[in-house]
Amino acid sequence: MKHPETLERLWKVISLVPEGSVASYGQIADLAGLPGRARLTARALAKAPQELGLPWYRIIRSSGHIAFPIGSENFAEQRAALLNEGVIVKQNKIDMRQFKWQPTIETLLFELDY
């Protein structure tokens, strides 16, 4: 990471994803001002301190699929967490048209200080 600030920026954006919706790795990167850096979002999640209490399970692939391998412990946990707040997971996939986070202009302006 060039600036350690980058990680915190990603964490900040992730923290804004509201209950009942999801966001893709690339979307988080974009909102953090890091287009094309989806993989960095993945790293940021893996390194995020537990204490931050980030909604890590609301971050999925742009395809609507959960990134963890089907059958893994993490996959099961993420799927359960999503179902628990009303996000429908059908055939191991989520309908992005229905559940993708659409931040309001207010959120963009006041929560993400550009």
Q: Does residue 97 touch DNA according to CB under 7 A?
A: no
Q: Does residue 9 touch DNA according to CB under 7 A?
A: no
Q: Does residue 50 touch DNA according to CB under 7 A?
A: no
Q: Does residue 25 touch DNA according to CB under 7 A?
A: yes
- Residue 92 main-chain phi, psi, to 5 deg: 60, 20
Least distance from DNA to the Cβ atom of residue 79, Å = 12
Of 37, 27, 11, nearest to 63 (Cα)? 27
Least distance from DNA to the Cβ atom of residue 35, Å = 9
Three-state secondary-structure class, residue 64 = coil
**Beta partners for residue 94, in sequence order:** 89
Q: Does residue 63 touch DNA according to CB under 7 A?
A: yes
Question: What is the rounded distance in angstroms from the CA atom of residue 9 to the CA atom of residue 70?
Answer: 29
Q: Does residue 62 touch DNA according to CB under 7 A?
A: yes
The residue written with tokens 């094309």 in the block is 36
Segment interacting with DNA, rule: CB under 7 A, options 45-53, 79-87, 101-109: 45-53
Question: What is the rounded distance in angstroms from the CA atom of residue 94 to the CA atom of residue 50?
Answer: 25
Q: Does residue 24 touch DNA according to CB under 7 A?
A: yes
